[in-house]
Structure 1
């Protein structure tokens, strides 16, 4: 089952674990969207946080060329991927379960942007129920230096030096030209992920986890996004881990990271259940 054109992993927890934690309720489906260059073994560590709480998890990381090249050139390849990932919910017959996102860095946030837009505008997906989202080390806006650091880290130390500098030069030039110099014009063709979700954030509760010392995503970009979402009247929270590097908060603070994510998931589920109960009561009366 599922789409053979995307490399994803899905995990169903043991039924007794689900029943222990959700007591007859439909367990959440947690969709984890990895950072650029993320390997599945890294994402597995995060999905285990939710599997141990009786959640279904879907893990996916977009290819590097899609994150760093397609988006830089304004080609919306990730939109098709977002559609395929949402279709998986129907393939595995969990479309009636609550959905929860866990998003990493700009690579995951770009894909999350398209999924959020589809959930809002696409007739088939508009009935899906999202209860919340955790955003880790994102989003960043028009930060060429941070983007170059990210692509260097993603390619790894074994990349040929000539190839590395060529790719960095090409990527840096395209980002600077299309996303900064000409952005006042190109945004009408393809608005960047930051502006798209700042201007029209999804209505579900959101938790932003970041660090003031992150060298790839500026903390002020995250804080400005949180402020923008808050001004729209949407439930939003944030936490600055202070000393951990980019997408390293779980590695440096495993217990606190896990407890914050699970507490937010539980709170989001309770809020949604309370809202549905009020709606049922209102209809009945």
Structure 2
């Protein structure tokens, strides 16, 4: 089943893993790319974790699935989320600590369905997620992003007049369905922003963003962080101030990589501490 989606998995060499994790199972880092992200770009981020002795899985959902299907309430990404989690069993790494690195709304829309499966599906109840880095997300009511996705999907061969008509029709429909009528349509299909905010996962999150981001408003991210923090989710964040949308690693490579690695290590330590407490509790009973 997992063969139906176009993903990449990289295993570290045993020496690197042992050096970094010394006897504990190395983490599996699942990277969910932004809409339109090429794998060569995503692989630069996965190397942050490969050098740390982690297994990495890279996947970017197709543009039309992310923006068009989601905009019109088709939950195509739900089956993609299922296939991604099944990869863990295909490669027999389901008992390893799981860590997510999520990019922009394109990655966050898919993350939303993964979170729902981890909440609700007994098949995945034994998976042990330790944390998530969220880069340039989540944003609310992102009509501009949806229009860019449609332009890319239409391609260069379509006539300018038809392109303009389709874009206007699409924009009007999305604004109606996802903004004007959203107080009603949310009972049929909540957007990613509200769905995760209403039922957030309990593992720690680290939000990397920038107030210079012109695609995702920094106030959307800050409001989201505040809301999930109030529900008991451990939240940390860093504002790069000047870097563009999903451009923080490009502008600040050393600082970005260091922050990701430090957060991963802290999540692993927190996870090990929780496991020790659980074992002690069981032994005392």
Q: Is the alpha carbon distance of 1:170 and 1:255 closer, same or farther for their aligned partners in structure 2, counting shifts above 3 Å?
A: farther
Structure 2 length as normaliser, TM-score? 0.95
Aligned partners of 2:154, 2:213: CA distance in 1, in Å?
18
Alignment of 1:38-187 (within 5 A): 38-145=37-144, 147-148=146-147, 150-151=148-149, 162=160, 164-187=163-186
Aligned partners of 2:23, 2:6: CA distance in 1, in Å?
31
- Report SS of the residue matched to 2:123: coil
Q: Which moved more, 1:185-194 or 1:151-160?
A: 151-160
Does structure 1 retain, via aligned residues, the 8 Å contact 2:35–2:63? Answer: yes
RMSD (Å) for aligned C-alpha atoms:
1.8
Q: Deviations over 1:163-216 (max 9, x none)?
A: 653553343222201111111111011100000011111100001111101111
**Correspondence 1:269 to 2:265:** no
Aligned partners of 2:120, 2:159: CA distance in 1, in Å?
44
**Correspondence 1:6 to 2:9:** no
For structure 2, the 5+ residue unaligned runs are: none
For structure 1, the 5+ residue unaligned runs are: none
- Report SS of the residue matched to 2:206: strand
Alignment of 1:200-215 (within 5 A): 200-215=199-214
Alignment of 1:189-200 (within 5 A): 189-200=188-199
- Report SS of the residue matched to 1:58: strand
Q: CA deviation at 1:143?
A: 3.4
Q: CA deviation at 1:246?
A: 0.5
